[in-house]
Every structure is written in C-alpha cells, then in structure tokens.
Structure 1
C-alpha cells in the first residue's frame, strides 16, 4: 500500500531506493561521516556568515571605495546570486553527483572572497560579491541534500537541525565578527579570512566526501530552462530590491521589471513541462506533501524575514536604544531560534519524525509571539520586548527542520537535490517578498498618518519641508545627526515642541510596525492551516544511496 503523498513522484522518476542501514554502516565509516559533517557545517557557517558579516564594515568600505549610491548592492548582489543558483545547482547535483559541485561551489566562493578583498572600486566589490554568492548558493543548496545522502530519513532530523542551528548562529554573529575584524585588521580581511577556512573544507571534502554516483545515462542539459530561471529570479529580486526604495511601486521601471519576471517565469514553466531533463522537475509539485511543504516554507520565509527586519527598527526608533544595543537585544531571539532548531531536529529523529505535529507546535508558538509583539508600544519595557521576540524566535526555530525532512521523505533519491534546494529557494523568495512588501506597507502607513498625528502648534514650529521629510523617513528617531539638525531648526524655541514631535512620530511608527506584525500573523495562520492538511508519511530507515569508500590521496 502506498504511503500518502509519495507515489506520484516515485512513478515519475524510477530508480533504486538504496540499501538498508546495515549495508550502509559497512560501506561508510563513522569517522568519514563525522569528518564530512564537520566540513559541511563549516561550509554552511562560511556561506551564511557572508550574508551578514559585511553590514558593520560598510561605512569603512564606502569611505575607502566611494560609491555611496550603490553600497546596498554589496549585500544585494550576494543574495540575488545565491538565491538564483540554488535550484540550478541542486538539480545538477542529482544528475552528476554532489561532490564536484560542492567543491566547485567552495572554490568559486573563495575566488569571490579574494576578489572582494582586493577590490579597488565599488563596482569591483559588487561583482566579486556576486561571484561569492554563486558559490555560497551552491554550498547552501547542497548542505541539506548531503545530509539526506549521508543518513536515513529517520536520522536526518537531528543533523538537519544542526545545519539549521549553524546557519542561524553564523547569521547572528556576522555583524559582531565583521565589526571586530574591521576595527582590528581592515575590512579586506572579512573576505580574506574565508580562504584558510574554505581551503580546509576543500581538503576534507576531497578526501572524505562520499562520492554518490547517480545512475549512468545521457543527460541533455536544460540550457533554456536555466537561462529563463536566471532571468526570472534576477529580475524579480532586483525589482523587489528597488521597489519603494529607488523607484515607486507604480513606476515604469518597477512595473516593467516585475512584468518581465512574470513573463519569463511563465515561459520557464512551459519549457520545464517539455524538457526531458528539466532543471526544476515539475513532477515533484504534484505530490501533496511536497506542494504543501513548499508553500508553507514560502510563507515561513515571508513571515520570518518580514518580522526580523522590523524588530531592530522598533528597538531603535520606538524604544530609543542605540544600534549596538538593539543588536544585543536580538541575541536572545536568535539563540532561542538556534536552540529550537537543534531540539526540533533531535525530536524528529527520536520520536518517529512527526513533522506535521512539530510544525503545528512551532507555528502555534510563533503565533503567540506575534500576538505579543503586535501589542508592543513605546511604553513596552525592554524586558517585555525581549521576552516576546524570544518566544517568536523559538517558534520559528521549531519549524525550520520540519519541512526539509517532509520534502526529502516524499521524493525518490534521484530528485533529492532538486527537492531539497526547492525548500531553500522558496524560503528565500518568500523572505525577499516579505522584506519588500512589508517594508513598503509599513512606510505607506507611517507616511499617511505621521503629519495627521502632529498638533497644530508642532506643525507651525517646524519648517514644512522638514516635516514632509520626516513623514517620508523618520531618521531623526534613529540618527543623532538628523536629530541635531532638527533641534537647530527651532533654535530659541521651546524644546518641549521637539519632544512632542518625537513622541508623536514614535507613536505612529509603533502602530505602523504593529500593523506589519498583524499582516505577518495572517500569513502564519495560513501556514498553520496548511500544515493541518499536510499528510504525515512515516520516515524510512533506509538511505537513498550506496556511497563509495573515501578516495585515497597520493
């Protein structure tokens, strides 16, 4: 009798399901597995660290290289390149094996690191970061898939939890580490430091990484599919990055970019249906477990990234903390997320892999945290705010390993790379959409109500152009220099007017951020409802592949 959710894919892609765990134990030593996992976790650490480590070094980079109008692309180019190549590398590893692509991804990442450290202009740095992003995307795409190759479904949970925990930990310490390296060495070394660590990973992988070989047959590379996927994803992400920042959502530039993304996405789907070896096999989406899991993953990314970006803003602009302090207040939330991901993975392995139940528990806790955070005001204490976001982080962490495991358990071995990378892809696309849409929503809500909240006395005391600027961007709430300029504009008048202005702006910003959290709450409720209908297929004790012995080195 077929397990719920699995047969459609299995029928579409036939192939050996793999040996039993006893055979696997004889084939691969515990030492090889431990060393491979160690190298894999270090690779994940480097790839995820480079998404956040640059932030604290940007002021120094701009001072040295110039290009203030383009500095946001130091991060954006990395993220766009990383997301774009995740599904491509995942699928190619199904067709040609993981090892070469993982090592190639690390090499590309290191080449990008050297080029970034040696950059003499802002454009050179942006291009180097894109090269880094392609390599980093390959590393992230194959990390979770390699766990699936190394372990049977019942064992994957705890190791997937470890990978998720390392990802969260490295993202958390990235800004701190970037600041330390920049202050004590130079910004160049936030890139150069990758070289010795990445080289160690390459050495370990050459010697110990299992060489899982797919069934030998001729493959016709899906070049049209890859080209259309790159065009669709890049135009979507660039459009979302510029919308509401460089251009209005209604501008011809944004409408044209997003329309191009939609047209190329439709063309991509048509090409994939007709391709003999599609880069993104659409057959996997006919499986109910896979389709629900990926939809939930998309909503999780939307909610998680859309929430995390506004919490530091609340601490700085509403509660009045410094940028450094707001980062430290985030630490308990990130630690709870890391801890919950590790514990959730352990629970999946120890208690039978009830990913649906654990997903429901995680989203329920996430919702509790969101309800509390949506009620925060300027009168909320620091301790209360930290407690609320810590609950939120714990809920997110519980969900993190669940849906990678559900997807991997639902597809045959030949599609593990494509399916697993799809979970990363949809989470990141959801996150990019969440950042863009929720950021624009919050800005619009603040702008529409900021001036209305000011008393007539306050409006008459300040130049109208300054008030209009504040309604567009309340930088006086977070930037001491902007606050000083505002204070100078009412020199000789009652300072109480400035206090009234700031209090009104904080109140409006607080309510605008609260509305964002309510929108996020709706997306999490939808995800919770979808998980209720997620079939729960028993996790197998059988691994998908028979791996070779570690290669001998001369």
Structure 2
C-alpha cells in the first residue's frame, strides 16, 4: 500500500473523476424536461438516459478487463478526455437525435471510467476495512456533486439556458485530468508479455443482445406485439444465448461464466440489476413529476431532488462506519432496500398538495437506502471474487447495475408515455377537443410556459376551458409516473426478498498486493 500522502493525492484524483460523472448525472436529470421542451422530442426522452447507459454497459467490461491487464491509469485518463469532449457535443445539440448520439459517446467515456476508476480503489487499498475508510473521500466528492447538482442544474437551466449544464463538466474535467495524470500510480495485477487478446465477438454479442432488448422495450407499449417487436426480442434472446455459449469456450472471455456459477456473486449481480432498475427510475422520473406534474420551476425541482442524491453519500459514509462492526454485514442490504421501497411508495402517493417537507423526507429516505446498498454490493463482490477477478467483478457489477437502469428507465418511460397519452386523449374527447391532441400529447407542454400560454389562447378562442384541459394533462402525467414508480417500488421489494440469497460476507483481511508498473 502507498504512503499516506501518495494515497491521499491519488484518492483526490479518483474523487474528482467521480465528481465529474456524478455532477453530470444530477445536473442533466434536473434540466432534461426543459431540454425536451425546447428540442421537441418527448418520444426520445428515455433515450437520453438509455443511450448513455447502453454504451456504458458495453464498454465497462471491456475496459475492466483491459485495466486488469495493462493497468488502469491510461484508461482513466482517456475516459476523462472522451467524457468531457462528449459533454461539449451535448451542449451543442440542436435536435434530440443529436443529443442522444452525443450522450451515447458520453456513455463510452463513462463506461471506461466506471470500468477502471472504481477498481483503482481496490488496487490502492487491498484491505477491505481500510478501503471502506478511504471510500469516504470518494463518497464525499460524490456528495458534493450531488448536493450542488440538482440545484445547480435548475439555476443554470432557468437563468443561463440548458446548454450550460453540459459545459459545467469542462472545468471539472480539467481538474480531474490534472490530478489523475500527476498523482494516480500506474498499477496492474500481473506481469505480462505481448498483447492481450480481447473478446471482440463477446463484446459484439453483448451490444446486439442489449440493443435489441432496448428497442423491444421501447416499441412494445407503443405498437404492441408486432412482427418487428417479436423479431427484436428473438434477436436479443439469440444473441444472449450465443454469448453464453461463446463465453463458455473462449479462453479470453469478456464475461467469465465461472463467476456466474458462484452463488454469492450471482446473487450480488442479481441485486445490482434490480437496484439499478429502481435507482435510475427514481432519479430519472422524479424531476419530470415535480416539473411537469406538480408545476415546479427547474430550480424548485432541483431543491426537491437534492436530499435524494445528497443522502446517497451520507448513507455511504454512515454505512462505512457501521457495516464493519456488524456480525452480519448483509443486514445493511435489507435495511437499504426497505428504505428504497418506502421512498418509491412515498412518491407514488405524493400529490402537488403534499407538504414539501414530507416529500423531502421521502427523497431523503431513498438516498439513504441507496447509500446503504450500492457501496456494499461493490465491496461484497470484490471480497467474494478475490484478487484474480477483482477488476472484472467490479466492472460486471457496475455494468449489471446500468443494465438494470437501462431496463428500468425504458420500461418506466414507455409506460409513462403510453398512459399519459391515453389520459390526455380521454380528457380531450370528453371536451370535444381532440383537435388539440397533438399539442397536448407531449408532456413538454406542461414545462414550456410560453407554449402553454399560446395553447391556452387557442383553446379559449375555440370556446374550450384551456386551464382545465392543461390541469387534466398534469393529472394524467402524475398518474402515469405514479404507476411507473410503483413498478420501481415493487422491484425494490423483490430486491429485499432476494437479499436473503447473499451468503454472509466478512469484511476482514487484506488481499494480495498488486504489482507497481515501472
């Protein structure tokens, strides 16, 4: 292990990298409803998140394996450059499709970062107990970004335009690049000669399986069971089956199948998927509920989201102080998923008349639950996998969490779109105003104040009660998001039940040291 000063400076570098990603996620989430209102593409709302998640999921295991072999520092540096450059492209977007593609590139940088930066901590601190103590630094950086992110996103969007939320990544990217380049040591697990063989067929099959599944989830609620959706599902299943067969006989598999035969790791991987489903659904659709459903300004919505993201960090810090003292560390998983379920259910019953302090409490509980779950899943997987598979186990856990997030945001998004459109059409039909279905079918009208005023004038001129129709649209959006988040709450309850499958984990004892690259 490195001396204290070197460890401190290296952790500062990793913490700034963590801040880069955390700041982007929280700022963009708050600004996204406004972005969609300007670029006019609610049908691609979910894809702004899922395009990032999809490319991240594909690249995380690739760079997790490359980091094990060549050392992680070069890939952390590359990830910062790619992520920051893609942030600039996002800020320059003039259409939703351009934004989705830029977010996909950003996801590649994010995948490189997740696949390498998280495992750097295990390289620097082989002892799990020491690692949990040092992780407080990263959790603090994550907390600072999450504390200012939602409010910053709302303020920037309201006063400087939504493009500024992407440009804020530039100074953070420069600072993180300096610290990583200067202070992060170049560590690797094993000495090697020659070039590493990378499992490109496996990576391609992962891309096909997940991409086809994503398209299927997006298409099903809109078009029902059709030849196209059935073909996409069949393609995804065939690619997944082919991936399993290929990885079983590939000597340099990107997904070592023996890890999935380990019951403890399999249980943790399952919880990562389920936890990602609930986490991303809540983080992604709560801002839309507050702005579009409850009529809050971007700034006020950012304030409401702040406890959720801040208490992820506080929960992680509290968890680090508690979990090593428990006889059964797995208890923190039960507590975390229970709190997450309560938070989702609280948002499901929330109305615009609910007292703001109570709504803030529900957000706080959700953040605390995530703070108890996410770091433990990572440390438990690293402890269970051992040094030989540390990098790929960490990368797989992060990948599977993002897969869960991808499925969660896609399912929740398509459910919300379908239910909202049905509710709006029903309200318009009752008022004999179906002529304006096109104007109200996109929830962006509930956020775009100028668009609302123009629509109200048209409806009034035609003899309709425009204010009542807009309120009906808000009610339809609230009901749709409530049902979507009820699904997320159900998944949290299932996660609570599945936690019993994780064998007791003891967080004691150092693992083998890594080799310092020359």
Distance 1:487 1:39, change over 3 A: same
1:58-108, Cα deviation, whole Å (9 max, x unpaired): 8999999x9989996776654433232011111222233333333343444
Q: Indicate if the aligned counterparts of 2:51 and 2:100 stay in contact, CA closer than 8 A.
A: yes
1:229 equivalent to 2:172? Answer no
Aligned match of 1:533? 501
Q: Which moved more, 1:110-119 or 1:169-178?
A: 110-119
The CA deviation at 1:502 is: 4.0
Q: 1:214 is matched with which residue: 190, 193, 213?
A: 190
Q: Which moved more, 1:421-430 or 1:387-396?
A: 387-396
Aligned match of 2:54? 80
Distance, in Å, in 1 between the alignment partners of 2:26 and 2:251 is: 39
Distance, in Å, in 2 between the alignment partners of 1:309 and 1:280 is: 29
Q: Using structure 2 for the length normalisation, give the TM-score.
A: 0.84
1:326 equivalent to 2:301? Answer yes
Tell me, what secondary structure is at the counterpart of 1:537? coil
Q: 2:71 is matched with which residue: 91, 97, 109?
A: 97
Distance, in Å, in 1 between the alignment partners of 2:83 and 2:469 is: 48
Aligned match of 2:247? 272
Q: Indicate if the aligned counterparts of 2:67 and 2:188 stay in contact, CA closer than 8 A.
A: no
1:499-532, Cα deviation, whole Å (9 max, x unpaired): 4434444444433333223222211111001112
Q: Indicate if the aligned counterparts of 1:332 and 1:390 stay in contact, CA closer than 8 A.
A: yes
Tell me, what secondary structure is at the counterpart of 2:504? coil
Aligned match of 1:491? 460
Q: Indicate if the aligned counterparts of 1:228 and 1:264 stay in contact, CA closer than 8 A.
A: yes
Distance, in Å, in 2 between the alignment partners of 1:63 and 1:459 is: 24
Distance, in Å, in 1 between the alignment partners of 2:281 and 2:500 is: 23
The CA deviation at 1:244 is: 7.2
1:298 equivalent to 2:273? Answer yes
1:480 equivalent to 2:454? Answer no
1:39 equivalent to 2:13? Answer yes
Q: How does 1:306-321 map to 2 (within 5 A)?
A: 306-321=281-296
1:338-367, Cα deviation, whole Å (9 max, x unpaired): 211222133234x15843101111112222
The CA deviation at 1:484 is: 2.2
Q: Indicate if the aligned counterparts of 2:330 and 2:505 stay in contact, CA closer than 8 A.
A: no
Give the gaps of 5 or more residues in structure 1.
Answer: 1-23
Q: How does 1:414-425 map to 2 (within 5 A)?
A: 414-425=388-399
Aligned match of 1:411? 385
Aligned match of 1:465? 435
The CA deviation at 1:405 is: 1.1
Q: Which moved more, 1:176-185 or 1:287-296?
A: 176-185
Count of aligned positions: 512
Tell me, what secondary structure is at the counterpart of 1:400? helix
Q: 1:284 is matched with which residue: 255, 259, 263?
A: 259
Distance, in Å, in 1 between the alignment partners of 2:162 and 2:481 is: 38
Distance, in Å, in 2 between the alignment partners of 1:35 and 1:524 is: 37
Give the gaps of 5 or more residues in structure 2.
Answer: none
Q: Which has the larger radius of gyration?
A: 1
Distance 1:121 1:393, change over 3 A: closer
The CA deviation at 1:334 is: 1.8
Q: 1:426 is matched with which residue: 390, 394, 400?
A: 400
Aligned match of 1:49? 23
1:232-291, Cα deviation, whole Å (9 max, x unpaired): 334444665x5479x646465555445433322221111110011211111111112111
Aligned match of 2:179? 201
Q: Which moved more, 1:427-436 or 1:505-514?
A: 505-514
Q: Using structure 1 for the length normalisation, give the TM-score.
A: 0.79
Q: Indicate if the aligned counterparts of 1:110 and 1:198 stay in contact, CA closer than 8 A.
A: no
Whose helix proportion is higher, 1 or 2?
Answer: 2
Q: Indicate if the aligned counterparts of 2:129 and 2:508 stay in contact, CA closer than 8 A.
A: yes
Q: Indicate if the aligned counterparts of 1:462 and 1:490 stay in contact, CA closer than 8 A.
A: no
Q: Indicate if the aligned counterparts of 1:411 and 1:419 stay in contact, CA closer than 8 A.
A: yes
Tell me, what secondary structure is at the counterpart of 2:286? helix
| Pairwise CA RMSD | 3.9
Distance 1:427 1:355, change over 3 A: farther
1:126-161, Cα deviation, whole Å (9 max, x unpaired): 766544432332122222211112221223334445
Q: Indicate if the aligned counterparts of 1:232 and 1:261 stay in contact, CA closer than 8 A.
A: yes
Aligned match of 1:389? 363
Distance, in Å, in 1 between the alignment partners of 2:335 and 2:3 is: 36
Q: Indicate if the aligned counterparts of 2:80 and 2:176 stay in contact, CA closer than 8 A.
A: yes
Tell me, what secondary structure is at the counterpart of 2:365? helix
Distance, in Å, in 1 between the alignment partners of 2:177 and 2:376 is: 32
Distance 1:186 1:131, change over 3 A: closer
Aligned match of 1:369? 343
Aligned match of 2:416? 442
Q: Indicate if the aligned counterparts of 2:216 and 2:233 stay in contact, CA closer than 8 A.
A: yes
Q: Which moved more, 1:185-194 or 1:530-539?
A: 185-194
Distance 1:191 1:121, change over 3 A: farther
1:170 equivalent to 2:170? Answer no
Tell me, what secondary structure is at the counterpart of 2:251? coil
Tell me, what secondary structure is at the counterpart of 1:442? helix
